[in-house]
Amino acid sequence: MSTAALSELEPVLPLETHAPEIAIEEVSRDISRAIERAEVAAWRDLYDAAPADFAARQGLSIARDGDLVWTTCTTIPFIHFNCVKNIGVDGPATEEQLDALLAHYRNAGITRPWFYTSPHTEPARLRCWLEARGLQHQGGWERIYRDATPLPTEPLFPGDPLIPVDDPVIEEVTPRTASQWASFIDAKYRLPTSPWLTALVGRKGWRHYMLKRGGAVAAVRSLFIGSDGAAWSGIDAPVPGIMAPSFDLDAMLGERLVRDGIAAGAKLFVADIEAPLPDRDGPAYRNYDRLGFKLAYLRNHYAYLPAYSS
């Protein structure tokens, strides 16, 4: 009997189904735009805060054409600093627009500009245009969001009562502690951005937090609340699942951000899961679900492969 015949006799097992560990909501194009605009507003304000001498030294700039926004940095090859933030979000992209952006980065000497796409990006064939020009899919981040529904009164992520001496303490960053916060971020990402980061402390709309253990900074996260009440959470370190194995400290910071953001009048919270999993399970999904976030979509990232890649 042939191997093929034997395989036909084997029982066909049903595929295992796995329930995601976070609520998933099919969002409208309008909600998708609101989510993306929240991040764009944060990055526009972040760039506005950059000291002029720092921006000049680093070749740092942000530009816009109507609603379209893109960033450039000639000295730091960091995804956020050389990316088109919202192509195809507020209106359909065109091939001429795409070619002009690629020409801009080539002329600036940027070898790996980044582009984002989502299920609501217009037109749907934008992905094909990117691939036709040599850019390739380079993963992506889960877009998550929540409204201003209050959290339960009791802490969602309490410290360990058996080890009270090591209980994490969350502090809001002040001008006095700004350099400590900025130095921690630069050390984690190996970046020279402390002059830029410290300019954000005390700036309208921004809140920055440090989680300390035994007096030492262990994790950080920031929140920007725009004039429309849309809040973006980012500038986080270490990134759980990528730079750190534990998700607990970031969850504690996330809870503090949501509580303080609601008290400050935030109406929409936007964040990312930067280490997505195919089954959408794992601690990041569980923690954000407890914080009331829902998963909106996977935002895909496109860039050229590194020069040393095959």
Report pLDDT digits (tens) over 108-146: 999 999 999 999 999 999 999 999 999 999 999 999 999
Q: What is the pLDDT of residue 253?
A: 97
- Is 309's pLDDT higher than 90? no
Tokens 């720092």 locate to: 54
Token readout for 107 is 């002329």
Per the DSSP assignment, residues forming a β-bridge with 80 are none
Mean pLDDT of the chain: 91
- Name the burial class of residue 175, with classes exposed (0-12), middle (13-18) and buried (19+) by CB atoms within 10 angstroms of its CB: exposed
Whether residue 30 is predicted with pLDDT greater than 50 in this model: the reply is yes
Predicted pLDDT of residue 12: 55
User: In terms of C-beta density within 10 A (0-12 exposed, 13-18 middle, 19 or more buried), how is residue 36 classed?
Assistant: buried
Q: What percent of the chain has pLDDT over 70?
A: 90
pLDDT value, residue 7:
44
Query: In this structure, are residues 168 and 267 in contact, taking their beta carbons and an 8 Å threshold?
Result: no
211, 213, 217, 220: CA torsion to nearest 10: -20
pLDDT value of position 161: 57
Q: How many CA atoms lie within 13 A of 211 on its CB side?
A: 23
